[in-house]
């Protein structure tokens, strides 16, 4: 099978635990995921199968949304409930009065320092391995974007928030930074990913219901290659252009049709007979030193 499998990851498993289980069920090593979820977290885990793994780079760039519960007044080593407690602080009587003002400061473009307990690497070594060895290294702040940040429930010391954000956002770090801004500290006590791009939790199949391949084909949790990037414009190639594309030759104006006007620099799906052949950026020949109207980003092998 080639495409995307949407799984509702259970708590207590790592993302790779899920990948390992799917590899066993589908009998293939070609399985990858579009964004790690910590063992504490649940929710949308998008798994690419077969040729779909070539499209992961585009899914990784998609925005994501989460529901997160913060435990105010307690900080931990990992910034979540799996770490050791570092400090307890009292909650100010004015905390709720300050909450909206503090959250407003985190909307839009912000800077985050990645946590030590993360998969980022320093000299080839994951930071979490250094952290487990008791080491802390300097990390550069990175820019991320918070599009939505709203309180959905408040029962102190717990505050539950909904977050929509850009790729690369650490919700653990966001929660800890909000706690510091409130003056009490905080850690993440629960996290559920609600969406990745256009794919939502409602589409996902609970992992414990995944038993065999044939079952998946009859659920909305599996999408074919052409559906993985459904928001990208679809460009229909004629048979000759499709044949040349398989050898890495970019289509020219006479080779394709598109129901919408393409914009220079736009990422598109190059299709033939309903099959996704490639992902490419539209760059008209007149504006490029290369032949053809597209810069090929990923060319797929025909699914079998």
Assign residue 287 the CATH number of its domain. 2.30.130.10
CATH number, position 112 = 3.30.2350.10
Does 75 share its domain with 175? yes
Does 164 share its domain with 185? yes
In a domain, 156, yes or no: yes
Positions marked catalytic: 38
CA distances, 218 to each of 5, 44, 78, 96 (Å): 12, 19, 40, 47
Does 89 share its domain with 18? no
CA distances, 232 to each of 59, 60, 130, 222, 263 (Å): 12, 15, 40, 19, 12
Q: How many domains does the chain have?
A: 3
What torsion do the CA atoms of 106, 111, 114, 119 make, to the nearest 10 degrees?
A: 100
pLDDT digits (tens, 9 = 90+) for 237-254: 999 999 999 888 999 888
Does 78 share its domain with 190? yes
Does 246 share its domain with 288? yes
Cα 36 to Cα 14: distance, rounded to the nearest angstrom: 8
Does 54 share its domain with 73? no
Does 140 share its domain with 70? yes
Does 79 share its domain with 8? no
Mean of the per-residue pLDDT values of the chain: 92
Cα 130 to Cα 32: distance, rounded to the nearest angstrom: 25
Instruction: Tell whether the model's pLDDT for residue 191 goes beyond 90.
Output: yes
Predicted pLDDT at 132: 87
Predicted pLDDT at 287: 66
In a domain, 275, yes or no: yes
8 A C-beta contact, residue 73 and residue 67 = no
Does 18 share its domain with 85? no
Does 170 share its domain with 281? no
Predicted pLDDT at 147: 97
128 band by pLDDT with thresholds 50, 70 and 90: confident
Tokens of 229: 């990037």
Does 91 share its domain with 190? yes
3-state secondary structure (DSSP) of residue 101: helix
Instruction: Tell whether the model's pLDDT for residue 70 goes beyond 80.
Output: yes
Please identify which residue in the block is written with the tokens 């919700």: 171
The mean per-residue pLDDT over the stretch 270-274 comes to: 93
Domain boundary among 187, 208, 227: 227
8 A C-beta contact, residue 67 and residue 152 = yes
Predicted pLDDT at 254: 86
In a domain, 136, yes or no: yes
What is the domain range of residue 277? 232-299
pLDDT digits (tens, 9 = 90+) for 155-190: 999 999 999 999 999 999 999 999 999 999 999 999
Predicted pLDDT at 286: 67
Instruction: Tell whether the model's pLDDT for residue 302 goes beyond 70.
Output: no
Does 168 share its domain with 203? no
In a domain, 304, yes or no: no
Predicted pLDDT at 288: 61
């Amino acid at each position: 099978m080639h495409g995307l499998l949407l799984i509702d990851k259970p708590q207590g498993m790592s993302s790779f635990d899920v990948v390992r289980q799917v590899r066993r069920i589908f009998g293939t090593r070609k399985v990858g995921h579009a964004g790690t979820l910590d063992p504490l977290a649940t929710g949308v885990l998008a798994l690419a199968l077969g040729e779909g793994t070539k499209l992961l780079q585009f899914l990784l760039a998609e925005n994501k949304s989460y529901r997160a519960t913060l435990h105010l007044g307690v900080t931990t080593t990992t910034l979540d409930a799996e770490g050791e407690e570092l400090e307890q602080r009292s909650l100010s009587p004015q905390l709720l009065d300050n909450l909206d003002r503090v959250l407003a400061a985190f909307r839009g473009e912000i800077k985050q320092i990645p946590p030590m307990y993360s998969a980022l690497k320093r000299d080839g070594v994951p930071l979490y391995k250094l952290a487990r060895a008791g080491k802390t290294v300097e990390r550069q702040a990175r820019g991320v974007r918070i599009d939505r940040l709203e309180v959905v429930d408040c029962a102190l010391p717990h505050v539950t928030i909904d977050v929509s954000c850009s790729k690369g956002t650490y919700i653990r770090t966001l929660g800890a930074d909000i706690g510091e801004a409130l003056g009490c500290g905080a850690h993440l006590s629960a996290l559920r990913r609600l969406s990745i791009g256009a794919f939502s939790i409602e589409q996902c199949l609970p992992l414990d219901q995944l038993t065999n391949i044939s079952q998946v084909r009859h659920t909305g949790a599996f999408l074919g290659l052409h559906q993985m990037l459904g928001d990208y414009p679809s460009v229909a190639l004629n048979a000759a252009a499709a044949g040349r594309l398989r050898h890495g030759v970019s289509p020219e104006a006479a080779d394709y049709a598109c129901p919408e006007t393409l914009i220079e620099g736009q990422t598109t799906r190059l299709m033939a007979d309903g099959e996704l052949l490639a992902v490419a950026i539209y760059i008209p020949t007149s504006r490029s030193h290369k032949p053809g109207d597209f810069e090929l980003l990923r060319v797929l092998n025909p699914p079998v």
